[in-house]
Amino acid sequence: MIIGLVFGELTTLAVGGYWLFHAAHGFFARSAAFSTLFTLVTTLTHAGLFLAAIVVSASRFGRLGPAARVFAFGGVWVASEFIRANILYGCPWDFLGHAFSGVPVFMQTAGLGGVYLLSWLCATSGASLAVAYIERENRRVCLIAALLAFALPVMAAAHGYSVLTDNATRTNNNTKPLDPLVVGLVQANVGRHELWEPELAQQHLETSLRLSRSPLLAGSDLIVWAENAVPFLLDANNPAQQAIQQLADQTGAAVLLGAPRNESGGDGTARFFNSLYFFTPGSQTVETYDKAKLLPYVESTPAWARKTVGRPKGVEYTAGTGGGYFEINGWRIAPMICFESTYPEIARGYAAAGADLLVNVSNDSWFNRGAAPQQHFAMTVLRAAENGLPLVRVANTGVSAVIDSFGRVTNELDQKVQTVGRSTVVAPPRTRPPYSLYGDWFAIVATLVGVVGIGASLRKPRVA
């Protein structure tokens, strides 16, 4: 148990501890002592304990046969991630399978069973190598285990290669033909401390308006700004709305942007939402989407944690109802704000309802140090491969990019610079992959295998 806890905590600290500490200490202005304690507790409870459970379970698998050990370990690993992603508010950050993001030939496996199948592939291959070493004196078992460790990634790569090379012959799954959509990306690169300075709010809006008029974005059908690109209540600011509507009318492009929104709570109070606004050329109405999956401790703090962590710095948001689309040129655009892109079921729900394009807007500037922006991007990219849908992502300081329906990055902007990008997005050229159609079937099966393996390892050996 102690070894498991040490492994789980040190591994989780290595992945996220650095940027968690600096986010709490540097952006949220907590003391170094509080930030350290927050980092230790958060990493332990949100991932470390789950990794520890894997170690404890695996320590008992020596009672099982070689094949049972391999598949029980893979099942337990997937069970750990699946449970972690679905209890309480869920924490699907940095699964083992996310390491394959950016490798298209392997990412197509996510279309079969989601990120969980990729995690299983890695864990099971590793367990096979371990068994090969443990059983090295039994040449037959050693050879079979080594071959399995080699065969699993080869099979996954072969599947990915087949999908990628066959895409030209696939028919469009849309019920109506869709012309390519020209999308403009606006990365304003506003620093994490400057974004919410009231005296700079108008300047931030003007920066995004100016960038949107860049000659590079001429001819765009859709222009996307980042989460909270407008850092004030846009619904209560008519001049700002008029300026953005004028931009849409003059450029002929719809403008999708992030800004907070408020409405009456009905009891003399106001409710605040982290929202997306959608301005279409020539329209007199503005459509909105409210973020449904709020970021814990930043946008909303669980009631049980408020005594120790306190309420979020600034405004505490109310969760939206989720779902909903924006439409332009026949394209159904599915919005995901920041953390929502890490949840496979959100993008899968959009795909089931007929989405043509996933759009993720984020503001990762408050991470500042560490690999969190790249980790967030790696998780987001898999949503495209899982559902066979193109994806556009715009983050305030990056990573901003366009991803095709196979998870391949077709255009990526430089990070931490003020810039724009323009891409032509084509309609999904394939039918929805099995994962998009059937959901977490593989994760459930693997979890059951892991549970059976744990049960078998707990049985007392028979006495002769």
Instruction: Please provide the average confidence, as pLDDT, over all residues in the chain.
Output: 91
**423 within a domain of the structure (yes/no):** yes
What pLDDT, on a 0 to 100 scale, did the predictor assign at position 1? 76
| Backbone angles phi and psi of 394, in degrees to 5 | -130, 120
Backbone angles phi, psi at 402, to 5 degrees: -120, 130
CATH number at residue 411: 3.60.110.10
Same domain, 107 and 221: no
* pLDDT > 70 in the chain, percent: 93
Going from the C-alpha of 373 to that of each of 43, 80, 174, 182, 409, the distances in angstroms are: 17, 24, 33, 25, 16
The proportion of the chain whose per-residue pLDDT surpasses 90, expressed as a percent, equals 70
Which structural domain, as residue segments, surrounds residue 260?
Answer: 181-430
Do 11 and 99 lie in one domain? The reply is: yes
Residues 276 and 423 in one domain: yes
Over residues 149-176, the pLDDT tens digits come to 999 999 999 999 999 998 755 544 444 6
How confident is the model at residue 76, as a pLDDT?
A: 97
pLDDT digits (tens, 9 = 90+) for 13-30: 888 888 888 788 877 778
Is position 372 within any domain?
Answer: yes
First to last CA, the chain: 30
Q: Which residues contact 55 (CB under 8 A, 6 or more apart)?
A: 3, 4, 7, 8
355-399 tens-digit pLDDT: 999 999 999 887 766 788 999 999 999 999 999 999 999 999 989
CA dihedral for 133, 138, 141, 142, sign (positive or negative):
positive
The number of folded domains in the chain is 2
Is there a domain that residue 176 lies in?
no
**463 is a domain residue:** no
DSSP lists the bridge partners of residue 281 as none
Q: What is residue 171's predicted lDDT score, i.e. its pLDDT?
A: 47
Whole-angstrom distance, CA of residue 169 vs CA of residue 181: 21
Q: Which two tokens stand for residue 380?
A: 């987001």
CA 25 to each of CA 15, 170, 231, 238, 451: distance values in angstroms, whole numbers, following the listed order: 18, 50, 22, 36, 40
Exposed / middle / buried, residue 385 (Cβ in 10 Å: 0-12, 13-18, 19+): buried
86 and 218 co-located in one domain: no
For residues 446 and 407, state if they share a domain.
Answer: no
Q: Is residue 97 part of a domain?
A: yes
**19 is a domain residue:** yes
Cβ–Cβ < 8 Å for 58, 457: no
Q: How confident is the model at residue 407 (pLDDT cuts 50, 70, 90)?
A: very high
- Predicted pLDDT of residue 461: 62
Q: What is the predicted pLDDT for the residue at 463?
A: 47
pLDDT bin (cut points 50, 70, 90) of residue 310 is low
pTM of the model: 0.92
Domain annotation covers residue 34: yes
Same-domain status, 121 and 216: no
CA of residue 150 relative to chain centroid, distance:
29
pLDDT confidence of residue 304? 57
Pick the residue with more confidence: 18 or 303? 18
Please check whether residues 274 and 191 belong to one and the same domain. yes
Query: Residue 436 falls within a domain, yes or no?
Result: no
Tell me the per-residue pLDDT of 186-232, one tens digit each, with 9 for 90 and over.
Answer: 999 998 778 889 899 999 999 999 999 999 999 999 999 999 999 99
pLDDT band at 302 (very low <50, low <70, confident <90, very high): low
Look up tokens 């977490």; give the residue: 440
Domain shared by 286 and 412, yes or no: yes
Per-residue pLDDT band at 464 (split at 50, 70, 90): very low
CB-CB contact of 21 with 36 (8 Å):
yes
Based on the fold, state whether residues 421 and 450 are members of the same structural domain. Answer: no
> For residue 116, what pLDDT is reported?
98
Same domain assignment for residues 406 and 352: yes
pLDDT at residue 455 tops 60: yes
- Say whether both 198 and 101 belong to one domain: no
Same domain, 258 and 377: yes
State how far the Cα of 60 lies from the Cα of 4, in Å rounded to an integer. Answer: 12
AA letter at 218: A
pLDDT of 307 reads: 56
Residue 81 is predicted with a pLDDT of 96
